[in-house]
């Protein structure tokens, strides 16, 4: 039972929006029309029933007064008056009169109810009675009247309710026809109205279908949509902007990676081709192999870096973090890069202590990239300073150099993969992925990386690690 009900609800839920709106509107209309019809019918039925009862009460009161004025010696003219009232003036009224000795004295033709049905009562009691053979309903009552000493009359009265029943039956049929017509009409109207109201949504869908990967620059939010669809159109445009940016980055990335791979491959092919053109000495073969080894090493480093970026950006398991001593990490980085810094007479100093919640391997890689960049772009005799500061919600780690700085036009792109400033990133050993590493690592920690720079004075890269991580 529950499965069938679920299937029915699934059909309604998965049907077209226009059909769902039309059905919902039809159901609401049906409920309203049905409830209104029931109320009207109930009100009419009660009103007719009360009118019939009041008319019956007035008729029995008239008969009661008329019979009470009669005596045992009254001629038939008085009874003729009652007869004419009951038969001619009021065909729905049935009268049966019994004399004192319980003999039938008067009975109208429309009195079809057996005498045993009536029981005299004082005060008068009115009740319903139904003839099972003819299926006709009546109001009945019976009473006794004293017209003198020893003269007691019994009057049985009935009131035929079949005209009212016929009227109500016709009213029910009319209401049923009205209800069915109203349902069908409401379905038709709601189908048309919902279709007309959903037409802008179809136009939005058509506009969306007309957008492909070759036309991501198109927008639909600038069209005069209804208020309900404006938010949808703007959201779609926002999605298109993100898709366009992603496609642009992907295209640029494909171009960059092709360029990065093509150069060492061409170098290796050229070296091998030139060497194979004629016989070479052992020393020449050795130089060629060294060239190929250098380019192959560059390719291997490039592949390793790309794999690292991909793994870091698409980690499925939570990042493993621990409390890392900042002082220990500064000391380790200084030891690792001291020889490289000494080649350019660059002094590395650090200050501050405490702990940061991070993945130790990723933290070391981020610091290694920042300090390595600082050494590369700081002139001889420069200074590199490592510092830390504990803020309310973050741990701040900064790497400051006294290098050439970064020109303003390069700042929006320095964290992009393979990006190299014209004057600062011409070294072949640099893959252009270092700062992209740092940004990816900080995103994995729910942190951030920022840069402050001044041309010919120096640059400061700042890492912000959250003090409470939910990685």
Mean pLDDT of 286-309: 75
Give CA–CA dist 419/422, Å, rounded: 9
Share of the chain above pLDDT 70, in %: 77
Three-state secondary-structure class, residue 165: helix
Q: What is the dotted CATH code of the domain comprising 238-313?
A: 1.10.287.130
pLDDT tens, 18-73? 777 778 888 888 888 888 888 988 998 999 999 989 988 888 887 787 777 665 44
Give the per-residue pLDDT at 384.
Answer: 93
pLDDT confidence band for 465 (50 / 70 / 90): very high
Mean pLDDT of 355-361: 90
Task: State which CATH number among 3.30.200, 3.30.450, 3.40.210, 2.30.170 fits the domain covering 18-169.
Answer: 3.30.450
**Cβ-count burial of 278 within 10 angstroms (0-12 exposed, 13-18 middle, 19+ buried)?**
exposed
Q: At what angle do helices 360-377 and 434-444 cross, to 10 degrees?
A: 150
Residue 43 CA to its chain's centroid (Å): 44
For the question of whether the overall pTM of this predicted structure is more than 0.75, the answer is no
Tell me the CATH class for 322-466: alpha beta
Give the per-residue pLDDT at 425.
Answer: 44
Give CA–CA dist 311/317, Å, rounded: 11
Query: Would you tell me how many other CB atoms lie within 10 Å of the CB of residue 273?
Result: 10
pLDDT tens, 380-428? 999 999 999 998 889 999 999 998 888 888 888 787 766 666 444 445 5
Annotated domain spans of the chain: 18-169, 238-313, 322-466
Give CA–CA dist 92/60, Å, rounded: 12
Give CA–CA dist 295/176, Å, rounded: 90
DSSP secondary structure letters along 372-420: HHHHHHSPTT-EEEEEEEE-SSEEEEEEEE-S----GGGGGGTTSTT--
pLDDT confidence band for 233 (50 / 70 / 90): confident
């Amino acid at each position: 039972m529950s499965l069938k009900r679920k299937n029915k609800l699934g059909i309604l839920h998965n049907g077209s929006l226009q059909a769902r709106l039309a059905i919902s509107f039809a159901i609401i209309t049906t409920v309203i029309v049905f409830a209104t019809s029931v109320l009207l019918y109930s009100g009419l039925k009660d009103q007719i029933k009360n009118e019939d009862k009041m008319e019956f009460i007035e008729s029995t009161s008239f008969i009661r007064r008329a019979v009470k004025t009669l005596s045992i010696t009254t001629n038939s003219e008085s009874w003729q008056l009652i007869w004419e009232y009951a038969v001619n003036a009021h065909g729905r009224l049935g009268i049966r009169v019994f004399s004192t000795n319980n003999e039938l004295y008067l009975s109208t033709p429309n009195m079809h109810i057996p005498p045993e049905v009536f029981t005299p009562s004082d005060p008068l009691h009115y009740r319903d009675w139904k003839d099972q053979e003819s299926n006709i309903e009546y109001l009945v009552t019976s009473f006794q009247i004293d017209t003198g000493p020893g003269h007691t009359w019994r009057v049985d009265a009935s009131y035929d309710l079949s005209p009212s029943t016929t009227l109500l039956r016709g009213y029910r049929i009319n209401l049923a026809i009205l209800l069915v017509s109203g349902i069908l009409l409401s379905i038709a109207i709601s189908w048309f109205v919902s279709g007309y109201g959903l037409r802008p949504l179809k136009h939005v869908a058509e506009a969306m279908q007309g957008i492909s990967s070759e036309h991501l620059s198109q927008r639909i939010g600038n069209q005069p949509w209804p208020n309900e669809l404006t938010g949808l159109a703007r959201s779609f445009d926002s999605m298109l902007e993100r898709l366009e940016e992603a496609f642009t980055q992907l295209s640029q990335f494909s171009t960059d990676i092709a360029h990065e791979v093509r150069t060492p491959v061409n170098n290796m092919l050229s070296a091998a081709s030139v060497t194979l053109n004629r016989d070479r000495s052992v020393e020449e073969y050795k130089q060629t192999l060294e060239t190929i080894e250098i380019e192959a090493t560059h390719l291997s480093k490039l592949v390793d870096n790309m794999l690292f970026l991909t793994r870091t950006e698409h980690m499925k398991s939570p990042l493993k973090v621990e409390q890392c001593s900042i002082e220990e990490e500064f000391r380790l980085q200084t030891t690792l890069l001291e020889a490289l810094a000494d080649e350019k007479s660059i002094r590395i100093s650090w200050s501050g202590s405490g702990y940061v919640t991070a993945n130790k391997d990723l933290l070391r890689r981020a610091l290694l990239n920042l300090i390595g960049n600082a050494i590369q772009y700081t002139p001889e005799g420069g200074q590199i300073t490592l510092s830390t500061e504990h803020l309310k919600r973050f741990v701040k780690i900064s790497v400051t150099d006294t290098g050439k700085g970064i020109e303003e036009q390069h700042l929006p792109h320095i964290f992009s993969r393979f990006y190299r400033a014209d004057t600062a990133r011409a070294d072949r050993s640099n893959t252009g992925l270092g700062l992209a590493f740092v940004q990816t690592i900080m995103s994995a920690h729910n942190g951030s990386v920022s840069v402050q720079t001044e041309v010919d004075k120096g640059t400061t890269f700042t890492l912000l690690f959250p003090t409470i991580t939910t990685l």
